[in-house]
A and B are shown apart, each in its own frame.
Chain A
Amino acid sequence: MALLERQGESAATIEDRFTRVDDESALPASGGILVSLPRFQADREALLAREGELGVWLASNESPRDFEKADLGKFALVALDFPTFADGRGYSSARILKERFQFKGEIRAVGDVLLEQLPFMLRSGFTTFETEESGFLEGFKAVVSEVRVVYQPTGDGRATAIDQRLSRG
């Protein structure tokens, strides 16, 4: 399992600053932690008061809408799960987080995260990728630049075909 972070047009392997804490375990005294949505809802006050970075993990049937907007500003990380690559709910969640709620923290793709899905994930706002696929890092750059044109505006700031047509005059 590797954790990769987008850095411009390529990526680098990074250390995971967050420890996954399951719903029954006690919270570690310090350091970043990643908890489930039910755990966050059950322990909200303790978690928000705690020292150290907080991340929340959303299953694909959970939504950023399940948070209070004010709470979101306190998260350093939201991890969105892909139970299989074919379950595309995470793309909507990432866009809602980034574009609707202006979430500025890390948006991490976890679960069945494949190289071929990467262009869609980057466009939707994901910044880090937890993957088991070998060759993900090596393939990153090639896959990202493979299709030069985008048609849809998303929060990734890329100029769409329409933008380019209009600015061309």
Chain B
Amino acid sequence: MYHYDEYDHALVQDRVAQFRRQVERRIAGELTEEQFRPLRLMNGLYLQLHAYMLRVAIPYGTLNSPQMRKLAYIARRYDKGYGHFTTRQNLQYNWPKLEETPDILAELAEVEMHAIQTSGNCIRNTTSDQYAGAAKGEIEDPRVWCEIIRQWSTLHPEFSFLPRKFKIAVTGCDDDRAAVKVHDIGLIMKRGEGGEAGFEVIVGGGLGRTAFIGKTIRDFLGKEDLLSYLEAILRTYNQLGRRDNKYKARIKVTVHETGIEEFRNLVEEEWRAIKDSSLKLPKEEIDRIAKHFEPPAFRVLEDEAPDVDARMKSDPGFAAWVHHNCVDHKIAGYEIANISLKPVGQPPGDATADQMDAVADLAEEFSFGELRVTHSQNLVLPHVERAQLPALYDKLAKHALASPNVGLLSDIICCPGLDYCALANARSIPIATRITERFASQERLDMIGEMQIKISGCINACGHHHVGHIGILGVDRKGEEHYQIQLGGDASENAALGKILGRGFSADEVVDIVEKIVDIYLEIREDGERFIDTYRRVGQSPFKEKVYGTA
């Protein structure tokens, strides 16, 4: 993974000192809260319902063991002993004290981390495939390009006051685990006519109040042109994006209102003017960054691991964990092991400091010290020898980290909701925990199979409800928490937005309704059909009829 050089270090350290001065001015009363607000937001510090919240960037979801230990240390020393992994592969601390936030940032800088641009109307942390560097069928490790984008976008003078926030996602293979089609810009690595690697560029996707699937603005972009093309898109958006209404300010609306053809013309015109400028990436720099992402020293192993097969036969819990949480690695004899942060009855994505320390140790023992955060709020050990899976599983189980439910119904994506967030209309965490309690039986989860439930506590859609197979949206109805259900969303390479089923439900009813929907699916599914396949085959009607009791 990437390691800072002297320039990267200097920038982050200077930034910490700058923020320390700003906080001191705020505490001394030289800055009003109104003046301080944009400054703290540029360092990821929000003011929530009950306290400040600090959002730490985990660039493209990759971190190493020392970084994870530092996150654990901060959780213990400066917070209440836990942290929350988010759908943008970041980490949030829910209870930091304002006066201590510069110290937290200084601690982070020691391990090459920061909170720059995790908030505000700027280019946010670039997200990527959590299996990057381990996935089968990858054209190149997309994190090379994420890191290049991270540096280019950091304190970008022209794009720090955009009409609205701006999110870029990059994937290196056809299986899209980074939801690139619902980002402001999505980059899919592909090969050009001469076999050279480059990008398909997608623009104008997004969730929130008005959800759009992104559109292809360029079929193929050469690698060295990445930054000039991004700059052309951002410049066009910065000038054209609406600033009269924050709900219409994202690039998805700009693209929709301008039309993709016209928008493309404007971008291409801009691009021609800057294509051959100093934004063109020198090969030496691409190579320098790529070197940081060279594969670890994999051993030559047999694909078969008889001990693992034997353990799977004798231990159904282990078998379920291997089956659901482990994914084929590109190297023979290795597996990608997902660590579920979705135990029954717990807030999705939360991890205690002790768990973080444990995972850091396990990463060193089993996965070359490398870790990933997924957009579904789980963790990943990307490079585990298949023969080591039983040992890993046993150690995970000791820390309540062995829930065998990745990709299953209880692997719920959920925003912080009204328990923490100042924007929320309704709580989302209690709905998630109650659903996991209702579906606590592993046998039942296995029988239901792949199912994605996604819950947002307001229309801003941090819980990605639009792209859940079952999406749940919290709304405020006359002062009461109320929940709308959507069906048929999909965040994969077959991206689709869910459709609202009908009138919403109270907090008391909503878990029963989810159960009813699941039961209908089980009744009508054909052999081997996932929920989303059944839904695509039969549409909304059967669900609607049973849920609302109407014809």
**B15 lies within 8 A of A147 (CB):** yes
- Residue numbers of A with Cβ under 8 A of B are 60, 63, 85-89, 91-93, 95, 99-100, 114, 116-117, 119-121, 123-124, 146-154, 160-162, 164-166
Tell me the residues in window 1-43 of chain B with beta carbons closer than 8 Å to chain A beta carbons: 5, 7-8, 10-11, 14-15, 17-18, 22, 35, 38-39
With A147-B15, A165-B285, A166-B284 as given contacts, are A87 and B155 in contact (CB-CB < 8 Å)?
no
Interchain CB contact (< 8 A) of A162 among B14, B239, B282: B282
Top 6 closest pairs, chain A to chain B, by CB = A88-B161, A123-B157, A153-B278, A161-B7, A120-B157, A149-B11
Chain B residue with minimal CB distance to A65?
A: B239
Write out the residue numbers on chain A whose beta carbons fall within 8 Å of the beta carbon of B158: 88, 91-92, 95, 120, 124, 154
For the complex, what is the distance from the CA of A160 to the CA of B155, rounded to whole Å?
Answer: 12
Once A86-B161, A149-B14, A165-B7 are accepted as A-B contacts, the answer to whether A116 and B121 lie under 8 Å apart by CB is no
Q: Establish whether residues A152 and B38, one from each chain, have CB atoms under 8 Å apart when the complex forms.
A: no
Residues of A within 8 A of B162 (CB): 88
Residues of B near A88 (CB, < 8 A) are 121, 158-162, 238
Q: How far apart sit A116 and B35, CA to CA, in the bound complex (Å)?
A: 10
How far is the CB of A125 from the nearest CB of chain B, in Å?
Answer: 9
Cα–Cα, bound, A132→B407 (Å): 56
User: Smallest Cβ distance from B191 to chain A, in angstroms?
Assistant: 26
Most chain A Cβ neighbours within 10 Å, of B155, B158, B238, B279: B158
| Cα separation A124 to B277 with both chains bound (whole Å) | 16
Give the residues in chain A near B17, CB-CB below 8 Å.
146
> Which residues in B have their C-beta under 8 angstroms from that of A100?
273
- Out of B151, B156, B159, B279, which one reaches A161, CB within 8 Å? B151
Question: B152 to chain A: which residues have CB within 8 Å?
Answer: 151-152
Residue among A85, A123, A150, A161 making CB contact with B8, cutoff 8 Å: A161
Give Cα A99–Cα B232 distance, bound, in whole angstroms.
14
CB-defined contacts of A120 to chain B, threshold 8 Å: 155, 157-158, 160-161
Whether A166 pairs with B238 at a CB distance below 8 angstroms is no
Residues 135-164 (chain B) with a chain A CB within 8 angstroms: 151-152, 154-162
List 11 A-B pairs, Cβ < 8 Å: A91-B157, A92-B158, A114-B35, A116-B39, A117-B161, A149-B7, A153-B279, A154-B157, A154-B158, A160-B278, A165-B7
**Please, which residue of chain A has its CB at the minimum distance from the CB of B163?**
A88
In the bound complex, residues from chain A placing their C-beta under 8 Å from that of B35 are 114
A148/B14 contact (C-beta < 8 A), A87-B243, A88-B160, A92-B235 known: yes
Interface centre among A91, A114, A119, A149 (most CB of B within 10 A): A149
* Residue of chain A at shortest CB distance from B288: A165
Is the beta-carbon distance between A166 and B156 smaller than 8 angstroms? no
Contact assessment for A91 and B11 in the assembled complex, using a CB-CB cutoff below 8 Å: no
Question: Given contacts A87-B243, A88-B238, A166-B284, is CB(A147)–CB(B155) below 8 Å?
Answer: yes
State the CA gap A91–B8 with chains docked (Å): 24
In the complex formed, the residue of B with least CB distance to A151 is: B151
In angstroms, Cα B278 to Cα A99, docked, is: 12
Q: How far is the CA of A149 from the CA of B238 in the complex (A)?
A: 24
Which residue of chain A is the closest to B14 with respect to CB atoms? A147
Mark interface residues in B255-291 (1 if CB within 8 Å of A CB, else 0): 0000000000000000001000111001011001000
A146 to B11, CA, bound (A): 9
A114 to B160, CA, bound (A): 14
In the complex, the answer to whether B11 meets A147 with C-beta atoms within 8 Å is: yes
Q: A146-B18, A153-B279 are in contact. Are A86 and B288 (CB under 8 A)?
A: no
Contacts of B151 in A (CB 8 A): 151, 161
- Nearest B-chain residue to A86, judged by Cβ: B161
Chain A residues near B239: list those with CB within 8 A: 63, 89, 92-93
Question: Are A153 and B285 also in contact (CB < 8 A) when A88-B162, A95-B158, A116-B39 are?
Answer: no
Q: Please name all residues of chain B whose beta carbon is closer than 8 Å to the beta carbon of A91 when the two chains form the complex.
A: 157-161, 238
Asked if A152 and B238 make an inter-chain contact with CB atoms under 8 angstroms apart, the answer reads no
Contact B5 A165 (CB under 8 A): yes
Cβ-neighbour of A166 out of B14, B22, B282 (below 8 A): B282
Contacts A91-B159, A124-B158, A149-B11 known; list 6 others, CB within 8 Å: A85-B38, A86-B121, A87-B161, A147-B11, A147-B14, A151-B156
Instruction: State in angstroms the CA–CA spacing of A134 and B39 once bound together.
Output: 18
Least CB separation from B7: chain A residue: A161
Residues of B within 8 A of A147 (CB): 11, 14-15, 18, 155
Q: How far is the CA of A164 from the CA of B329 in the complex (A)?
A: 38
Distance between B132 CB and nearest chain A CB, rounded to angstroms: 22
Chain A, Cβ-Cβ closest to B243: A87
Residues of B within 8 A of A149 (CB): 7-8, 10-11, 14
Contacts of A92 in B (CB 8 A): 158, 235, 238-239
- In the assembled complex, the Cα of A118 lies from the Cα of B246 at a distance in Å of 25
Task: Please tell me if the beta carbons of B154 and A85 are within 8 angstroms of each other in the complex.
Answer: no
In the bound complex, CA of A102 to CA of B26 (Å): 40
Q: How far is the CA of A116 from the CA of B277 in the complex (A)?
A: 28
Residues of chain B lying within 8 A (CB to CB) of residue A151: 11, 151-152, 154-156
Chain B residues with CB under 8 A of A165:
5, 7, 284-285, 288
How many angstroms between the C-alpha atoms of A117 and B155 in the bound complex?
11
**B18, B38, B239, B279 pick with most chain A CB within 10 angstroms:** B239
User: What chain A residues lie within 8 Å of B15 (beta carbons)?
Assistant: 147
Nearest-neighbour CB distance to chain A for B32, whole angstroms, equals 12
B99-149: which residues lie under 8 A (CB-CB) from chain A? 121
Contact of A152 among B7, B121, B156, B282 (CB under 8 A): B156
Interface centre among A63, A86, A162, A166 (most CB of B within 10 A): A162
Chain B residues with Cβ below 8 Å from A154 are: 157-158
What are the residues of chain A within 8 A of B288 when measuring CB–CB? 165
Residues on the B chain within 8 Å of A63, using CB: 239
A86 to B121, CA, bound (A): 8
Chain A residues whose C-beta falls within 8 Å of the C-beta of B238 in the assembled complex: 88-89, 91-92
- Complex Cα distance, B121 from A162, in Å, reads 26
Which residues of B lie under 8 Å from residue A99 when comparing CB positions?
277
Chain A CB within 10 A, most for which of B22, B121, B238 = B238
User: Nearest chain B CB to A88's CB is how many angstroms away?
Assistant: 3
Cα of A11 to Cα of B425 in the assembled complex, Å: 48
Q: Which residue of A lies closest to B273 (CB)?
A: A100
B235 touches A119 (CB 8 A): no
Nearest CB on B from A4, distance (A): 18
Cβ proximity bits B150-184 to A, threshold 8 Å, 1 near / 0 not: 01101111111110000000000000000000000
